[in-house]
Amino acid sequence: MAADTRAAAAQVIAALLDGRGSLSKLLPQAEARTSERDRPLLRELCYGCARTAPRLQLVADKLLRRPPADKEISALVLLGLYQLEYTRIPDHAAISATVNAARELEHPHATGLINGVLRNYQRSREQLERKLSGNPQFSSAHPAWLQQHVKTAWADRAREIFRANNANPPMTLRVNTAQVTVADYLARLEQAGIAARPCAVSPVGITLEAPRAVQELPGFEQGLASVQDESAQLAALLLQPGPGERVLDACAAPGGKTCHLLEQQPDLELSALDIEEERLDRVAENLSRIGASAELICADAAEPDAWWDGQPFDRILLDAPCSATGVIRRNPDIKLLRRETDIAELAALQAKILRSLWKLLKPGGTLLYATCSILPEENAGVVAGFVAATPDARDNTPRQLGGRPWGEPQAAGVQLFPEPEGGDGFYYALLNKAE
């Protein structure tokens, strides 16, 4: 009954509840301890439980007299509720396997509690849902604070944003147009039996009808295509570096935008900077696969005196550290890991990095500020404040891309929202420095 898979999933969810890592780090470790046959179920349980955790937690609170002291027991309750509510696993099998997982994790004293809570949920499901239906955290499956921030900022769009965040994202490719055209790569996909369509906004993007392992993609190892969200693909298209220009890609890891800049303009003097050495390894791997190279710098973008050589850059891409609230559908653990107090701290850090890097930009140069956040505090709030306080800064974010409107113009920059069949939530502001 694959109790070991539930046990592995419970350990991942318990770590998330405890703030001890992210899905991107915890899940691969759990997969290494799980049979290949059970990995899809493990992945489904971890991602699905994280995605619906705010809603499941409210249900658990109604069914438990008090929260369990052990996070693994809390995680098993959430995993059991997730299986009963969102999967096709027969109820009796879901309950039995979850109870057995408690034994496997050496919590035999909790088997009665878990069994009782799940069976109580079976009996009272409809009544519970009626009681909780007016609770916005329950209806949106988002933490109360985030639900309120989104609703305050985007009242007319909030329901669409929540719906997109709770759906599985599409798999989108960026075609390396230095090697192959989009039309030719679509033909290669068709020959490989992979259904796909061109992206709506990115002229180099292709969305697959269903996710595939990258090994199945034609020419992936030769760098013909890379996995990258459509909205993320717009960064290189907006920055438009010219031949021979000196370019800084700040906060570059894992390197998708770095690679795209070089695919678009191979003749660049490009420096890719990131604060984490381990993440720079990913940049190097991605560059190697497409046959490109860049100077890699491990340093803090907010402290350029420690690493800058004094030569100004023609263009700077600042993919600022942010709440990642525009990519929740790809990283649902954000619902468990992020706190409301993080937002003001991130906005202060974003403003500091922007001020620091502006000094490195050549007069007449261009800086692209980007985040994968949908919260105005981290986006237009930061950029509009910076432009107002910086006499030589101008917001020149284009309102059209490829001859078509894109995103939603803000007081400064343009906001993109997560779309069920389209791109993630992103923010871009293109700033020019006076001569």
Which residues are identified as catalytic? 372
- Cα→Cα distances 16→26, 166, 247, Å: 9, 18, 37
Q: Which two tokens stand for residue 17?
A: 């509840």
* 267, burial (CB in 10 Å: exposed 0-12, middle 13-18, buried 19+): exposed
Measured CA angle at 18 (ends 17, 22), to 5 deg: 75
Rounded-to-integer distance, Cα 256 and Cα 65, Å: 48
Whether residue 410 contacts residue 371, with contact meaning beta carbons closer than 8 Å, is answered with no
Q: Which two tokens stand for residue 406?
A: 């894109």
Is the peptide bond preceding residue 254 cis, with omega within 30 degrees of 0?
A: yes
Strands 269-274 and 295-298: parallel
H or E segment to which residue 98 belongs: helix 91-104
Give me the amino acid identity at 112.
G
- Cα→Cα distances 153→42, 157, 323, 424, Å: 35, 9, 15, 17
Handedness of CA 64, 70, 74, 79 (dihedral sign): negative
Listed residue (176, 218, 170) closest to 194, CA to CA: 218
Question: Cα 316 to chain center, whole Å?
Answer: 22
Whether residue 87 contacts residue 94, with contact meaning beta carbons closer than 8 Å, is answered with yes
3-state class of 394 per DSSP? strand
Whether residue 428 contacts residue 382, with contact meaning beta carbons closer than 8 Å, is answered with no
Listed residue (336, 319, 309, 325) closest to 283, CA to CA: 319
Q: Which two tokens stand for residue 426?
A: 């992103």
- Cα→Cα distances 379→51, 254, 348, 384, 420, Å: 24, 21, 11, 8, 22
Q: Within 10 A of 51 (CB to CB), how many other CB atoms are there?
A: 25
Rounded-to-integer distance, Cα 377 and Cα 202, Å: 26
